[in-house]
Chains A and B, each alone.
Chain A
Amino acid sequence: MYNAGKIIIGIIIFLALILFPVLYNAGKTATPPKLEVGTQEKQCVEPIAYMKSSHMQLLDTWRDEVVRNGKREYISSTGKKFDMSLQNTCTKCHVKKDQFCDRCHNYVDASPKCWDCHIAPPEKQAAPQEKQARRSND
């Protein structure tokens, strides 16, 4: 072929760039992070397996039901009732956002925008009377 030298070198450089992430991490095992659940409660809103796989969908549904359909209460498959609120219900148990939510999200490189508006639980156990004017998380 014409310009065979340049083309073959180009292909090699291309392959090196594309395969770099694979080669760099070859041999290393990725360990999922250990999460501090934040509470002694054994039962979440739904069974834990479901929450692990689908908490995003659950929150999306809650969002639409509260904002768009005027609902407030969620009767889960376990029969218990919950107020559909990320910052009032979920964070009642999961009090340490950086040790629970953020650890997994950082591991899978997910950056949900929820906390731009929804108020995360305070980082330290501060007194409720304290004035909190916090920067958003982006």
Chain B
Amino acid sequence: MENTRRRFLQIAGLSVLGFGARPVLDAVAQSNQAQYMPGPNALVGKRWAMVVDQKKCLKAKDHCKDCVDACHRVHNVPTFDNPKDEVKWIWLTAYDHAFPGEENKYAEDYIKDSLKGLPFPVLCNHCDNPPCVRVCPVKATFRREDGIVMMDYHRCIGCRFCMAACPYGARSLNWRDPRPFIKTELNREFPTRCRGVVEKCNFCFERLSKGLKPACVEACKDKGLVFGDMEDPNSEVRELLRKNPTIRRKPQLGTNPQVYYIL
């Protein structure tokens, strides 16, 4: 054969291809062996949503925080001393904070009397058109097929663009290491988060994959929180929407939030 530079380069190129073949074969060989399945008892839905029946909330005594406590306990949510570092996934707030702009001095009697002025639970709305997902530069927050807006804590860089984008203030950054501030008993089945990542309600996807309802829904003694699949015409949430007028938070922004409130 000719000993030219061209020949040398051709042989070198073929050798590189040859060396590269082995890892490719290895990778292909592995993929046939392992399989990944959803949980065997997982709840399956096409569009998860929640209905908050504020009238049912009345039956619990004032200062009831069962939904908040359950969620924060199950997910190892920290309780920081400094209010500016606060992390919360679900919390209770007054009518004019949950629905700013709706308050009206003539119409507030209903809220004060019939609803006894009790606070409203507010959480991530798992919007159908979420602005937080639109802005995340690394897809650390993303919308699942079944509607849940998820957080990938492994990928989050802590830029907080999602916190700016959320019109509902649903997201919290871990301004400090949360572990020393987990005041509830540690739930060993769920991880904590590290400092510098954003977290929020995840519709208890880890419980759904085991066939359980979200923690807040289970914890409400008066069954004031109802969770279900909006695409299932026979689900409890659809039934409630058929029978009751509902409002959502800031629907005019086009986010299509999926937490409905029955006043």
**Residues of A near any B CB (own CB < 8 A):** 61, 63, 65, 67-77, 83-84, 87-88, 113, 116-119, 128-129, 131-136
Contact = CB atoms under 8 A, between A and B. Distances in A.
A125 to B, nearest CB: 13
A69 B180 contact: no
Interface string B162-191: 000000000000000101111101101101
Interface residues of B, number: 34
A119 B188 contact: yes
B54 interface: no
Nearest to B26: A54
B36 A73 contact: yes
Contact of A119 (B36, B177, B183, B186): B186
Given A72-B209, A118-B191, A135-B177, 19 more contacts: A68-B150, A70-B38, A70-B144, A70-B205, A70-B209, A71-B36, A72-B37, A72-B210, A73-B37, A74-B35, A74-B37, A75-B36, A75-B37, A76-B34, A84-B36, A117-B194, A119-B188, A131-B185, A135-B179
A67 B152 contact: yes
Nearest to A50: B30
Interface of B: 33-40, 42, 142, 144-146, 150, 152-154, 177, 179-183, 185-186, 188-189, 191-194, 205, 209-210
A86 to B, nearest CB: 8
Nearest to A120: B188
Tell me the interface secondary structure of chain A in the complex. Answer: loop
A74 B152 contact: no
A88 B154 CA distance: 18
Tell me the interface secondary structure of chain B in the complex. Answer: loop
A40 B201 CA distance: 39
A134 B78 CA distance: 12
Contacts of A75: 34-37
Contacts of B180: 133, 135
Contacts, number: 81
Contacts of B193: 117
Interface-centre pick from B42, B188, B193 (highest chain A CB count, 10 A): B188
Nearest to B179: A136
A113 B194 contact: yes
A132 B182 CA distance: 8
A77 B32 CA distance: 9
Nearest to A137: B179
Given A70-B145, A134-B179, A135-B179, A119 B192 contact: yes
B197 to A, nearest CB: 9
Contact of B185 (A84, A118, A119, A129): A129
Interface-centre pick from A61, A73, A128, A131 (highest chain B CB count, 10 A): A73
A61 B27 CA distance: 13
A119 B189 CA distance: 8
Contacts of A87: 188-189, 191
B181 to A, nearest CB: 8
A67 B209 contact: no
A70 B191 contact: no
Given A131-B185, A135-B180, A117 B192 contact: yes
Nearest to A73: B37
A136 B39 contact: no
